Amino acid sequence: MEIIKKFKPRIKARIRKNKQILNKNIDTFFDWVKGAELVELKECNVEEDPVRPELDLIFRRSYGRKIYGVKYMGEIHAVMCFAYTNEIPKNVEELDKFSHDAFLQSAQRDQNVGKIAIAYTVWSKKKGGGKLIVKEVFKKIKKSNHLNRLVTLSPLTEMASRFHFRNGAKLLQVNETTQNFEYLVEKKNN
């Protein structure tokens, strides 16, 4: 019994120290999350893209397609690329065609490209960046006047499925080489 009493204060001290370290790490994590902002990017390093590194900057920036990043203290911590369409693509070829069509249709109407934001790639350079960029993009789409859906064109991987399910998406369809998830966009009536 004496041996147990002897070690009890040491165990309590170790637990206190570990709690302090954990709290400090959590505080540091939330500091960067709170201070981050969503910005449109003119470029990104496509070689860092784990999903579609074969798509060059010209593809990512033409016909109304956009690149967004989460920026904190002058550094980009996560990137997401979009195409705006009026239909849900099942592959990159359809993504290209549908975003091109939506862009041309908008030139003759109101300049608002497409009704659906298709997120076709996302990557994070810092823990929590992927989840944060999804959340920030979701807010941006909810505020948009012309976008009413957020859908992904994701690879057929377990990692992609887990990521989207954890972030609240629903599986829309499974295609030959991709899968589409949808984040429900509920707009508030003014």
pLDDT, one tens digit per residue, over 24-56 is 554 444 444 567 788 999 999 999 999 999 999
Q: Are 40 and 66 in contact (CB under 8 A)?
A: yes
> Hey, which residues does 72 pair with through a beta bridge?
75
CB 122 within 8 A of CB 134: yes
Q: What are the tens digits of pLDDT across the range 70-108?
A: 998 888 999 999 999 999 999 999 999 999 999 888 776
- In angstroms, rounded to a whole number, what is the distance separating the alpha carbons of residues 63 and 81? 13
Q: Residue 7 above 80 pLDDT?
A: no
pLDDT recorded at residue 151: 95
Query: Is residue 136 very low, low, confident or very high in pLDDT (cuts 50, 70, 90)?
Result: confident
Tell whether the model's pLDDT for residue 3 goes beyond 70.
no
* Residue 63 pLDDT greater than 80, yes or no: yes
Greater model confidence, 188 or 34: 34
pLDDT at 131 exceeding the cut of 90: no
pLDDT at 28: 47
